[in-house]
Amino acid sequence: MSKVEQNSSLTPLLDDDYDTFLEENDDTTAFRTPFDSQLQKLLRRETELRLRIDELLEEIAELEAITRKQQQQKEQDEVKEGVQKSGQAGEPNNNKKGSWETFQAPEWCIPIKANVLTFEWDELAKACQFDVILMDPPWQLATHAPTRGVAIAYQQLPDVCIEEMPIQKLQENGFVFIWVINNKYAKAFEMMRKWGYTYVDDITWVKQTVNRRVAKGHGFYLQHAKETCLVGKKGEDPPGCQHSILSDVIYSERRGQSQKPEELYEMIEGLVPNGKYLEIFGRKNNLRDYWVTIGNEL
């Protein structure tokens, strides 16, 4: 067998099989070249990436199953609650599902119901370059079954799925606002850098009760009574940008799970008046006039 024929037979071999093949051939030194060594490294890396992809797909499938189960339980609880209220007050059942069926979106909003992982971002980038992008990523928590009274009612995404979104294509100049949870600060800064942004500021939302007291929540070491939104900037200021006219602290009543304060939208619109605004991972309660809102729960 010629050396050319020997080298051509190496193509389908991977890692251990490749090494075994080399050991079983008497003339291995004749064709063990720097190219073969590099090929081994690439094949090994490919195997590692394939295994990682399989793990992520399993995690996503597990999260989808958990989400479906939680949603079913939530709907059942809402029906039961509606029946109880109807029996007590003698009124028809006005559960949340029914209220969403009669929901009317703001007249000038642009809702796009889509899976953000498969959405055609390139087409959107060609159609519009945004001045402000707002994101409330469904960060994956350390555990799928959080304790201390925390109930998760939405699908979570692994970090890799969020950071692979092509945010950098949607904006040449402007700001990105990213809501973060306590254990995702470092990852959020890493994503900003990857997308081409520089961290410039942050906004603190101090949660309040209906009586204007601090609304304490659950936490591992301390009770959480605030949330943070990081602000990044890319390129130049967008047209009409206003400087130093707004506070970086929002005092506002605590809302439903994952619902952020209305004041943030007013703050963004004050920072960049008459801008082109985009929100990613939005829900129906996020719809707002003159905003493009993309999410799979619209």
Q: What is the C-alpha to C-alpha distance for residues 191 and 202, in angstroms, rounded to an integer?
A: 15
pTM, rounded to two decimals: 0.66
Kindly give the pairing relationship between strand 226-234 and strand 277-280: unpaired
Please report, to the nearest 10 degrees, the dihedral formed by the alpha carbons of residues 244, 246, 248, 251 taken in order.
Answer: 160
Assign 295 to helix, strand or coil: strand
Summarize the confidence of residues 168-197 as an average pLDDT: 96
Q: What is the C-alpha to C-alpha distance for residues 164 and 277, in angstroms, rounded to an integer?
A: 21
Q: Which residue has the tokens 């079913």?
A: 72
The rounded Cα 68 to chain-centroid distance in angstroms is: 18
Higher pLDDT, 235 or 147: 235
**pLDDT tens sequence across 79-102:** 665 545 444 444 444 444 445 566
Residue 247's closest CA among 270, 225, 272?
270
Q: What is the C-alpha to C-alpha distance for residues 164 and 166, in angstroms, rounded to an integer?
A: 6
**Residue 150 clears pLDDT 50, i.e. is over it:** no
Q: Which range is least confidently modeled, 20-29, 227-236, 247-256?
A: 20-29
Q: Is 186 left (phi over 0), alpha (psi -120 to 50) or beta?
A: alpha
3-state helix, strand, coil in the chain (%, to 5): 40, 20, 40
Judge contact between 25 and 1, C-beta under 8 A.
Answer: no
